[in-house]
Amino acid sequence: MPSRGQTAAANDLGWKERQVAPHEIVLFLHLVRMASEQGRMTYRRDRAKNRSTLETLGWTVSAMLEHVTTISPEQALCLPRKNRHPDFGWERTCEFGTRVHGKDIYVKMTVFGDEHQARGCVLSFHFAEKPLVFPFA
């Protein structure tokens, strides 16, 4: 482990200390990718904000679903948690932030299952309504 002086020297060189993303986020994103690869990732089309954002960006649902598979653990806004909806308490939910065409986008996804039968849903994909804070970056 570097000494305090070594860390300061590295920071003076422009290197940034990085907090390692908790394994729960890494696993969550792995399941999102598996669900997508298996064609089991869906999208909440009933939300006007989601539809409006896609229209403004000129994106299809397929493009959005492909984009969420590129999200990294450092883009997490929180740790995954149990879905708050009483009918879907067995699902895990996590929130992320991303940038598209210079605009901040808030993304909320849910996933369940294992890597062989993962299923997921993009619950929210819309322009951020407040500043995004990335605690794992």
Q: Alpha-carbon distance 48 to 89, whole Å? A: 24
74 domain-assigned: yes
As a whole number, mean pLDDT of residues 59-63 equals 96
pLDDT digits (tens, 9 = 90+) for 67-86: 999 999 999 999 998 878 77
pTM of the model: 0.82
* Longest CA span, the chain: 54
pLDDT over threshold 90, residue 9? no
Interior/surface letters 65-99, b for 16+ CB within 10 angstroms, e for the rest: bebbeebebbbbbeebeebeeeeeeebbbbbbbbe
6 domain-assigned: no
Question: Could you say which DSSP state residue 26 is in?
Answer: H
pLDDT at 19: 54
95 domain-assigned: yes
pLDDT over threshold 70, residue 21? no
30 domain-assigned: yes
43 domain-assigned: yes
Q: How many domains does the chain have?
A: 1
72 domain-assigned: yes
pLDDT at 40: 95
- CATH number at 39 reads 3.30.2310.40
Q: Alpha-carbon distance 126 to 104, whole Å? A: 9
